[in-house]
Amino acid sequence: MGNRNSGPKPKPTALKVLRGVTRQDRLNPAEPLPPPGGDIVKPAGLSVRAGVVWDEIAPVCIAMRTLTPADVRPFARLCELQVTAEEASSQKDAPGFAMFTLSEDYNGAAKVGVHAAIRVERDTAVALRPYYEYFGMTPSSRSRIVLPKPDEAVSKWAALK
């Protein structure tokens, strides 16, 4: 028995129809779709540094057509997490930075720990990974994303009944 996270992620309904899947129990005729076109605007609530990250990577994702108006909030979260990762990484350049810390436990025995910036950097990298995949920002994630060609007319056979 698996759970919702078992196996590969389901393909979009339009892609299933184009590939010839005709079993109605495997299609979702009510699948939500992002609005066509529209302007993608940077949210006002972004931190200043996250806005800089947005300005760097949003044009790339818009050009790849992986950032749509429906994806603005998740993309803003990606930008904020990226800033957190960069801030944690910059702590390693501080004078006197030591990757490991020495302390004592409650019995007075020596205890070796990892610097908090290293833990934050590691945890943020784990949180960032799915966002990079959502927006096609890794080579393997781009190989799994299927987008229609910009000038490709929608086939009459792709329409759901």
Query: How far is residue 143's CA from residue 6's CA, in Å, rounded to a whole number?
Result: 20
pLDDT at 123: 94
- What band does 16 get if pLDDT is binned at 50, 70 and 90? confident
- End-to-end Cα separation, the chain, in angstroms: 33
pLDDT in tens, 49-84: 999 999 999 999 988 888 888 899 999 999 999 999
Q: Please give the residue that has the higher pLDDT: either 8 or 148.
A: 8
Whole-angstrom Cα distance, residue 80 to residue 83? 5
Q: What whole-number percentage of the chain has pLDDT above 70?
A: 81
Every domain of the chain and the residues it spans: 13-144
Assess whether pLDDT exceeds 80 at residue 9.
no
The number of helices, as runs of H, and strands, as runs of E, in the chain is: 5, 2
- What DSSP character marks residue 4? T
Question: Following DSSP, what letter does each residue of 83-123 receive, concatenated?
Answer: HHHHHHHHGGGSTT--SEEEEE-TTS-EEEEE-HHHHHHHH
Looking at residue 161, its pLDDT comes to: 46
